[in-house]
């Protein structure tokens, strides 16, 4: 037994000497976008660079949880996709690495400002505006008026027809809450949330669930990011997308490098690659209708045209910070979620 | 032979473990290999001098990780007594001391020194900053730890424990250590997590504030608000327990006490919950009864009723869980209903009781333990269920899903997850304890083996009419739901475009033939093969651990056997979400660092399913006459030889049952898995959940259907194999009984 082991060892050593450090390049890739987009990104990066990609898809909240849990022993290298807040929070807690990509000059201003608000520990890769979508068939069969503003959703006839995610469990819903606070002011914003609460039939756990339920006809109106609603419409569900008339908030899908990544060089390669127009054009293949951050990347004609939507000046630094977030969520928990429906 | 063995000076078992210990120390990499347990690239990358791959001996020789050096002493000490006989006092003492010290020191250094030097602040203050760190244990450490453990148990055996039986003492030690490591340690770790404050300290106040949270214990639902998740879970579990027990009894009565013809088909029902992926029933219910479900739309059109979302919340979960768990109650009750001795019932009838009186005053009371058992099983299953509440929960929060969202949600609160898990664990353990305390002691046995040739009377008419109609209604409902599942996998876009298509199967399982062989191009293949691999790896290990435990419990007596039994059966009552949370907390940091690997999945399956292996083993082992073991021992075999050559061959059906059961369970588990999957090791169920989240019901259902068929094949194969071996066993037994 021992001699065999010794033989293996010596021959192994000899081989190691001859081959040299034949270390296969690899990358552990945490992805928080939709599954097929994640797959496509991983495979395309492999094709482009020959680096082996090991991909995990989890929602941005889950990934943040994982990165935080693994902080003392990082397993992931790069984290791509998902709403920006968890990325900002990770940056705030020092879980992600500072990096200045050479691709920065090709990006939209909002993508850079996202990076600057986080000390360059994250960067914008796409953006999407908040809105809602409704199931046209259900709306018609219930003889409901077509809504076009946020305040339309407060009408009593929509009671039991509106769905949004729970801000405690979903980044999308937290963006909704923060947007209302910024759009109407804090007091008015909470009045809006209270009025909305009366019409809500369910607070879902996941951010895009309301519009998916609307697509399947299990719900009438879902408050979500517009690109999610567009996707349901494109998939053949009877969904109409609404950009609310008062204006709306938006998210910036982000990308960060995990602090202390085991494959730091590969992570940076991915980072730079993901900001190229070629990588960002991949989104269209998988019906992802967000607006890409590279100015030269293509946008879909089905995507909501950002220039026609009234966007608020969303303060990511303030509303992405964990203190403000905790305060708003607690206030929502105490003042809104406990109200009778 | 026994006498001889104790005189022989060099004991093969001792020598084996000594070699193993030294090999682990000198030859194998001490720390875990980052690439994975089964990756051997390290052989080519600088082993044995490269620090990441070096064995402990090389590390110490280089002046690194010097805290490992004291391990040499307990490795050397046993060499000194190699020449001594087993009966020598020094032999036993040396082994106990060396093994015990080595094992304890190994564990102490593993917990004391972690990724950031000393893990405990008081160690740093006492010894100063370490300036070094260590990763999780690898092959070397694992082997050395096992060597110490078994040196220790050999010492104990030499001292005369369990008649000096090396195999039995070793087996007990092994089971105790792995159960402690993979059941008690993570649970304990989770309990402490409930007390951790935001800045890393410990505080009871934090626990209390999370424990007395309104979202947990609120009673708003008696007014116009909502109740806490704990009450919801409890209420739901009690309802599910009652309803499944009642329905299970109905089916059991139909099978045993009616002229119903298709009893075999009813029995086949019992397989369904085991092979159904967890959320499929929920999906089928949505497609049938949701706001735009087929039935809802039909009823709304016919009667002009306004469709509602009544399904989401308590009603939906209740229906789904009743569908899923009634067969389990049926399985429990059929044995009990059959077990009621016909002669008792005949006696009652001879005494002029009519059929209804007989049933009410004789048969029903005798079924009481079975009813209680079925209720508690339903209760535990409902508490632990994760898939159905996830899909159908609506605003009805239950503990199992709340735990999940406390961890994955935007608020990310491990402490809250731990508190919720503790509450859930409290409920399930209470039920588990009640079951054991109450049912374990009473005897309701009426079948005595003597002159019990009577036939069960038919049900009284006033019972048979409602029972048969309920069975018919529920049976039809189950059939419709499962029919919908199959139909749903062939529909393009349910409710929107109802054209039949193979599209979903093609997307999931397409295969392309190329020059270089078959290419698995379907989206589902990756997770499918991983699932098969993990399940196949977990199954034999589960069976081994289960059967060895069962052997110890039925065939050996030793101190602390009761708590040993309780410990090994405990994991049955631990819900999957709790296992998932506690495994992440316990195994993401050294000394055992296995999150993100396939090993953690295998391990979680072993300990989730072990109780079933134990039960199967106990059941069949108590059927094997003890005189068989005794004659083998009298003829000079030791207990290992007896176990291997006498008991194991007779246990083939039990082994097969344990194998298939754990294989199938590993394929359908979701609650623990969803926390433990990683990029490389994605399981079928978590992939399906992803598709469901993505509104891709067609693909999810097609994949689930495929899984059902695969598992049906596995169960069917087991039936065939077990059927054969059982005949063989009966012959052996009847021969030995003569």
Looking at residue B301, its pLDDT comes to 85
What is the separation of C-alpha B420 from the centre of its chain, rounded to a whole number of angstroms? 20
Kindly report whether the peptide bond that precedes residue B591 is cis, defined as omega within 30 degrees of 0. Answer: yes
Instruction: Give all strands (DSSP E) within chain A, no chain letters.
Output: 26-31, 52-57, 78-80, 96-97, 122-135, 162-165, 200-204, 221-225, 239-242, 250-258, 291-292
Paired strand residues for A133: A222, A241
d(CA B496, nearest CA chain A) in Å: 7
Torsion of CA B326, B331, B333, B339, to 10 degrees: 170
Paired strand residues for A225: A130
> For residue A185, what pLDDT band results from cuts at 50, 70 and 90?
very high
Chain A residues whose CB is inside 8 A of the B589 CB are 72-73
Q: Please write the tens of the pLDDT for every residue from B576-609.
A: 888 888 888 888 777 888 877 888 999 999 988 8
Q: Which domains are seen in chain A, by residue range?
A: 25-127+252-302 (3.40.190.10), 129-250+321-336 (3.40.190.10)
Looking at residue A181, its pLDDT comes to 95
Kindly report whether the peptide bond that precedes residue B48 is cis, defined as omega within 30 degrees of 0. Answer: yes
Looking at residue A20, its pLDDT comes to 35
Of B243, B288, B241, nearest to B392 by C-alpha is: B288
Structure tokens at A110: 């909002």
CB contact under 8 A, A73 and B589: yes
Q: Please write the tens of the pLDDT for every residue from A249-296.
A: 998 999 999 998 889 999 999 999 999 999 999 998 888 888 899 999
Share of chain A above pLDDT 90, in %: 43
ipTM associated with this complex: 0.73
**Residue pairs between chains A and B whose CB atoms are closer than 8 Å:** 142
Helices (H) and strands (E) in chain B, counts: 37, 6
| Tokens 């020789």 belong to residue | B61
Chain A residues whose CB is inside 8 A of the B135 CB are 73
CB contact under 8 A, A59 and B497: no
Q: Is the dihedral of CA B282, B283, B288, B289 positive or negative?
A: positive
Q: Are strands A162-165 and B113-114 parallel, antiparallel or unpaired?
A: unpaired
CA angle B119, B125, B126 (to 5 degrees): 95
Q: What is the pTM of this model?
A: 0.80
CB contact under 8 A, B497 and A28: no
Share of chain A above pLDDT 70, in %: 93
Chain B residue with the nearest C-alpha to that of A19: B44
Question: Rounded to whole angstroms, what are the CA distances from B116 to A45, A74, B113, B129, B595?
Answer: 34, 13, 8, 10, 18
CB contact under 8 A, B411 and A169: yes
A205 touches chain B (CB under 8 A): yes
Paired strand residues for A256: A79, A122
Please tell me the distance from the alpha carbon of residue A84 to that of residue A254, in angstroms, as a whole number. 5
Question: What letters, b where the CB count within 10 A reaches 16 and e where it falls short, cover A187-224?
Answer: eebbbbbebbbebbbbbbbbbbbbbbbbbbbbbbbbbb
For chain B, list residues with pLDDT below 70. 1-10, 34-39, 41, 45-46, 115-116, 131, 198-200, 224-225, 408-412, 438-455, 495-496, 679, 722-738
A86 touches chain B (CB under 8 A): yes
Looking at residue B724, its pLDDT comes to 53
Paired strand residues for A257: A78, A97
CB interface of A with B, residues 262-301, below 8 Å: 262
Q: Which domains are seen in chain B, by residue range?
A: 2-159 (no CATH), 215-219+226-445+454-472 (1.10.3720.10), 524-687+709-737 (1.10.3720.10)
d(CA B69, nearest CA chain A) in Å: 22
Other CB atoms within 10 A of residue A23 CB = 10
Looking at residue B735, its pLDDT comes to 39
Query: CB-based burial of residue B517 (10 Å sphere; 0-12 exposed, 13-18 middle, 19+ buried)?
Result: exposed
Looking at residue B220, its pLDDT comes to 73
Percent helix, strand and coil across chain B, each to the nearest 5: 70, 5, 25
CB contact under 8 A, A338 and B224: no
Q: Please write the tens of the pLDDT for every residue from A88-138.
A: 889 988 999 999 999 999 998 889 988 988 889 999 999 889 999 999 999
pLDDT at A223 over 50: yes
A321 touches chain B (CB under 8 A): no
CB contact under 8 A, B44 and A168: no
Looking at residue B495, its pLDDT comes to 67
Other CB atoms within 10 A of residue B278 CB = 25
């Amino acid at each position: 037994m021992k001699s065999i082991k010794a033989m293996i060892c010596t021959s192994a050593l000899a081989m190691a000497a001859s081959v040299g450090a034949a270390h296969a390049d690899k990358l552990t890739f945490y992805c928080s976008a939709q599954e097929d987009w994640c797959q496509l990104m991983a495979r395309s990066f492999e094709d482009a660079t020959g680096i082996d990609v090991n991909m995990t898809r989890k929602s941005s909240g889950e990934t943040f949880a994982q990165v935080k849990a693994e902080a003392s022993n990082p397993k992931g290298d790069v984290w791509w996709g998902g709403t920006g807040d968890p990325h900002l929070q990770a940056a705030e807690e020092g879980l992600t690495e500072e990096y200045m990509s050479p691709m920065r000059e090709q990006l939209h201003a909002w993508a850079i400002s996202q990076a600057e608000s986080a000390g360059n520990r994250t960067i914008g890769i796409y953006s999407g505006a908040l809105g809602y979508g409704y199931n046209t068939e259900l709306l018609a069969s219930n003889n409901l008026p077509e809504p076009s503003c946020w305040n339309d959703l407060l009408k009593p006839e929509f009671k039991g027809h509106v769905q949004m995610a729970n801000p405690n469990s979903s980044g999308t819903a937290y963006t909704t809450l923060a947007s209302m606070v910024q759009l109407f002011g804090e007091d008015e914003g909470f009045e809006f949330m209270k009025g909305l609460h009366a019409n809500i039939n369910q607070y879902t756990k996941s951010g895009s669930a309301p519009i998916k339920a609307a697509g399947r006809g299990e719900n009438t109106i879902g408050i979500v990011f517009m690109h999610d609603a567009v996707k349901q419409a494109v998939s053949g569900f009877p969904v109409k997308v609404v950009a609310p008339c008062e204006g709306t908030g938006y998210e910036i899908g982000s990308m960060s490098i995990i602090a202390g990544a085991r494959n730091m060089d590969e992570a940076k390669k991915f980072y730079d690659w993901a900001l190229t127009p070629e990588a960002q054009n991949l989104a269209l293949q998988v019906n992802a209708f967000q607006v890409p951050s590279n100015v030269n990347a293509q946008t879909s004609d089905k995507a909501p045209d950002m220039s026609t939507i009234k966007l608020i000046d969303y303060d990511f630094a303030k509303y992405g910070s964990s203190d403000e977030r905790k305060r708003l969520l607690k206030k929502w928990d105490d003042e809104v979620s406990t109200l009778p429906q | 032979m026994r006498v001889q063995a104790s005189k022989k000076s060099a004991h093969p078992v001792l020598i084996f473990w000594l070699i193993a210990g030294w090999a682990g120390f000198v030859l194998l990499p001490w720390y875990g290999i980052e690439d994975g347990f089964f990756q051997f690239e390290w052989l080519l990358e600088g082993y044995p001098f490269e620090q990441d791959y070096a064995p402990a001996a090389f590390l110490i020789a280089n002046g690194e990780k010097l805290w490992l050096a004291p391990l040499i002493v307990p490795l050397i000490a046993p060499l000194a007594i190699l020449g001594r006989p087993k009966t020598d006092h020094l032999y036993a003492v040396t082994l106990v001391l060396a093994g015990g010290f080595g094992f304890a020191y190994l564990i102490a250094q593993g917990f004391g020194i972690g990724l950031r030097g000393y893990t405990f602040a008081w160690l740093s203050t006492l010894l100063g900053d370490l300036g070094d760190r260590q990763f999780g244990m690898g092959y070397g450490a694992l082997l050395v730890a096992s060597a110490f453990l078994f040196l220790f148990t050999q010492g104990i055996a030499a001292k005369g424990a369990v008649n000096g039986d090396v195999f039995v003492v070793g087996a007990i030690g092994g089971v105790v250590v792995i159960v402690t490591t993979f059941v008690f340690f993570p649970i304990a770790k989770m309990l402490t997590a409930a007390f951790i404050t935001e800045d890393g300290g410990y505080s009871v106040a934090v626990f209390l504030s999370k424990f007395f949270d309104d979202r947990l214990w609120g009673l708003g639902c008696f007014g116009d608000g909502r109740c806490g998740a704990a009450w919801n879970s409890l209420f739901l579990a009690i309802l599910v327990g009652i309803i499944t027990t009642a329905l299970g009894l109905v089916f059991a009565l139909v099978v045993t006490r009616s002229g119903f013809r298709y009893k075999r088909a009813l029995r086949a029902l019992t397989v369904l919950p085991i092979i159904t992926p967890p959320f499929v029933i929920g999906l089928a219910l949505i497609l049938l009864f949701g706001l735009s479900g087929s039935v809802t739309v039909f009823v709304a059109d016919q009667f002009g009723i306004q469709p509602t979302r009544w399904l989401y919340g308590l009603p939906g979960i209740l229906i789904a869980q009743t569908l899923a768990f009634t067969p389990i109650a049926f399985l429990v009750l059929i044995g009990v209903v059959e077990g009621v001795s016909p002669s008792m019932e005949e006696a009652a009838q001879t005494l002029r009781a009519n059929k209804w009186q007989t049933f009410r005053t004789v048969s029903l009371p005798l079924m009481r333990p079975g009813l209680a058992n079925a209720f508690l099983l339903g209760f535990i299953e409902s508490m632990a269920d994760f898939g159905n509440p996830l899909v159908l929960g609506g605003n009805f929060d239950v503990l199992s899903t709340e735990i999940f969202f406390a961890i994955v949600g935007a608020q990310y609160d491990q402490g809250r997850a731990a508190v919720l898990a503790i509450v859930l664990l409290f409920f399930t353990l209470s039920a588990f304890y009640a079951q054991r305390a109450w049912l374990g002691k009473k005897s309701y046995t009426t079948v005595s083996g003597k002159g019990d040739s009577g036939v069960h009377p038919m049900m009284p008419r006033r019972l048979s009419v409602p029972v048969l109609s309920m069975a018919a209604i529920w049976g039809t409902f189950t059939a419709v739901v499962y029919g919908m599942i199959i139909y749903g996998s062939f529909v393009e876009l349910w409710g929107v475009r109802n054209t039949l298509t193979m599209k979903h199967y093609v997307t999931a399982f397409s295969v392309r033939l190329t020059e270089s062989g078959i290419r698995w191009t379907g989206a589902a293949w990756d997770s499918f093969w991983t699932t098969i691999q993990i399940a196949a790896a977990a199954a034999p290990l589960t069976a081994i651990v289960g059967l060895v435990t069962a052997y110890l419990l039925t065939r050996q007596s030793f101190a602390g056997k009761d708590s040993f039994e309780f410990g090994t059966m405990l994991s049955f009552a631990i819900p999957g979400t709790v296992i998932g949370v506690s495994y992440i907390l316990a195994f993401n940091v050294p000394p055992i660092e296995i999150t993100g690997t396939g090993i953690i999945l295998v391990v979680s399956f072993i300990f989730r399913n072990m109780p079933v292996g134990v039960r199967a083993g106990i059941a069949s082992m108590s059927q094997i006459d003890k005189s068989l073991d005794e004659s083998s021992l009298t003829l000079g075999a030791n207990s290992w030889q007896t176990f291997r050559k006498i008991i194991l061959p007779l246990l083939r059906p039990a082994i097969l049952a344990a194998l298939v059961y754990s294989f199938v369970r590993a394929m359908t588990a979701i609650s623990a898995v969803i926390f433990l999957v990683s990029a490389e090791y994605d399981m079928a169920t978590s992939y399906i959940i992803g598709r469901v989240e993505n509104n891709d019901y067609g693909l999810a259902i097609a994949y689930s259907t495929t899984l059902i068929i695969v598992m049906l094949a596995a169960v069917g194969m087991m039936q065939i194999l077990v059927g054969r071996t059982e005949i063989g066993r009966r012959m052996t037994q009847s021969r030995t009984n003569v």
